[in-house]
Amino acid sequence: MPFTSSLLSLLCRSFAIVLLLMVPQLSRAETGPLLVELNKMEEIDGGGCRAFFLFRNQTGKSFAGFEMSLAILNGDGIIDRLLSVDASPLPVQRTTLKLFEVPEISCGNISEILLHDVTSCQPQNEAEMDCFPILTLGSRASAKLVK
């Protein structure tokens, strides 16, 4: 019997060690970034530019509310206008495509889009939160997306 007891004790300790090693990986998976990518821009008939954004939600939370204030900078790097956009909802572990129109400016005359503010970041069934620390921005378009 002493052999069985010591073997059981060793197995329990080994299992506890494995669990302790897995905890950081599990929590990392739930607290990944919210990736916002300006994927492409295209001219709108009659003037203006349509911006295609991809939102890759790797945070472990669904967002019932997500609104951004964007500053559109023209070809000279001067702020042309502020644009408020509502990107919600953003389901957890999903990539979401959102299209936004920027009226009266051609895509070729947009040098940069500045994420000026996140006016709403509301995880589902939770209080508002500050999303800036979890945002990662990128752009595949000619204009840069920056914060």
Determine the Cα–Cα distance for residues 66 and 62; give it in Å rounded to an integer: 10
Task: Say what the pLDDT of residue 25 is.
Answer: 44
Tokens 């669990």 correspond to what residue? 19
- 40 torsion bin: left (phi>0), alpha (psi -120 to 50), beta (else): beta
- Full-model pTM: 0.77
Q: What stretches in the chain show pLDDT beneath 50?
A: 7-8, 11-12, 16, 18-20, 22-29
Which residue type sits at 140?
A: R
